Structure formats: C-alpha cells, structure tokens
C-alpha cells in the first residue's frame, strides 16, 4: 500500500510551498512521534530531499516521504484537509489506528 493525499490537501500543500518559495523538488514529510493523548502524534514537515531509506510516494502532484519506522504505522493512510471552523486542518485517515483521540491528532495502533 501507500500513503496518499486527497486533491484538496494537495492543493493546500502546493499553496504553502508556493507561498514560502519552496524549491520544485520540495517534499511533504509525513510521520509520527511519541506523545499525544493516545500514544502517537502525526507530524507533517517539509524536506528538500528524501533521506536514505525513506519511502517516497507521488500523489496528486505532491511528493510525500515517510521514514521506515513511521511507515509501519502509516501504511495505507490518506492525508486529507478539512475546512471546518472547529476541526479544520489536515486530517489523517489511518486504517492502522485502533484508538484515536477526539480531535484526531493522535492515535494508538
């Protein structure tokens, strides 16, 4: 499987890259870190190039990268964007999450 991104989320990322004059080869790094109320928190960052060992996915015109440890928990995840006033922002639809917190920012597998 892969990590994917919806068209709406891709448009938001492309807008951020453009507004910040990111180079054409900029990548969206998707990952996890320990913490949050459910065990792991999702992370998004920008990288110019993938690191050795990163998984690389091209989706909706955005190059997504993920380190191998995070990929164990994010395989099959879709990154979406929600314009909702209260819960707006990037949303992770993760089929590996057994429990998620109420705001969706953390999970346990």
pLDDT in tens, 73-94: 999 999 999 988 777 789 899 9
The H-or-E segment that residue 93 falls in is strand 89-93
What pLDDT score was predicted for residue 105? 54
What is the spatial distance between Cα 46 and Cα 99, in angstroms, rounded to a whole number? 27
Burial of 109 (0-12, 13-18, 19+ CB in 10 A): middle
The H-or-E segment that residue 50 falls in is none
11-33 per-position pLDDT tens digit: 999 999 999 999 988 999 999 98
Domain definitions of the chain by residue range: 4-108
- Among residues 17, 107, 103, 19, the alpha carbon closest in space to that of 60 is found at 17
pTM of the model: 0.84
What is the spatial distance between Cα 46 and Cα 1, in angstroms, rounded to a whole number? 22
- Identify the CATH assignment for 4-108 out of 3.30.1330.40, 3.40.50.300, 3.90.230.10, 2.60.300.12: 2.60.300.12
């Amino acid at each position: 499987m892969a990590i994917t991104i919806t068209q709406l989320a891709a448009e938001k990322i492309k807008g951020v890259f453009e507004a910040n004059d990111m180079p054409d080869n900029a990548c969206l790094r998707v990952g996890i870190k320990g913490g949050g109320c459910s065990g792991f928190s999702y992370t998004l960052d920008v990288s110019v190039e993938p690191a050795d060992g990163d998984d690389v996915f091209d989706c909706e015109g955005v190059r997504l990268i993920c380190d191998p440890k995070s990929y164990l928990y994010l395989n099959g995840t879709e990154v979406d964007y929600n314009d909702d006033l209260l819960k707006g922002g990037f949303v992770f639809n993760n089929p590996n999450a057994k429990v998620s917190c109420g705001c969706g920012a953390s999970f346990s597998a």
